[in-house]
Amino acid sequence: MAVNVSDVVVRGATGAEQRLGDFAGQVLLIVNVASRCGFTRQYAGLQKLNETYGERGLQVLGFPCNDFGAQEPGTLAEIQQFCSTTYGASFTLFDKVHAKGVKTAPYDLLTTVEPAGDVEWNFEKFLVGKDGTVLGRYKSAVEPDGAELTAAIEAALAA
């Protein structure tokens, strides 16, 4: 059965609740991010995706997560400053979440996507179509600008 995130409520950077359904009509790339991880350099690739496909309807949504090796210990303000200063990242960052164990939104639902199970590490990616349906799940080692992911993003934008 297809998993749809439209009714999922997350907490934005200001602390306000937001439904992912508010992004209807746009393709979403949901990523659990961390500032002190071997994959942290992927911030640059995520920003590039945001710049390349943003005008066509892609929204990169970053969810800081400290579940993996305590690699995201900072406050949201510190994380935003780091991302902006170090990687020029301007895509949307949300409040910190839990992606394993007792998970918080959106990961309580996303981890039911096949292959189901906890997020394994930072920078795991979920591609969501314009209608809120989860189209794919990509492990941390899948680079943001890799052919597999960019082809899936382009297909979702064209749908």
Whether 65 sits among the annotated catalytic residues: the reply is no
Do residues 123 and 102 make contact, with C-beta atoms less than 8 angstroms apart?
A: no
What SS3 state is found at 126? strand
Helix, coil or strand: residue 61:
strand
Q: Which two tokens stand for residue 108?
A: 């309580």
The number of beta carbons lying within 10 Å of the beta carbon of residue 78 is 13
**CB 32 within 8 Å of CB 95:** no
Burial readout 80-92 (b: 16 or more C-beta within 10 A, e: otherwise) = bebbeeebebebb
Q: Which of 5, 37, 60, 65 is catalytic?
A: 37
Number of residues that this document lists for the chain: 159
Residue 142's closest CA among 156, 157, 159, 127? 127
Catalytic residue IDs: 37
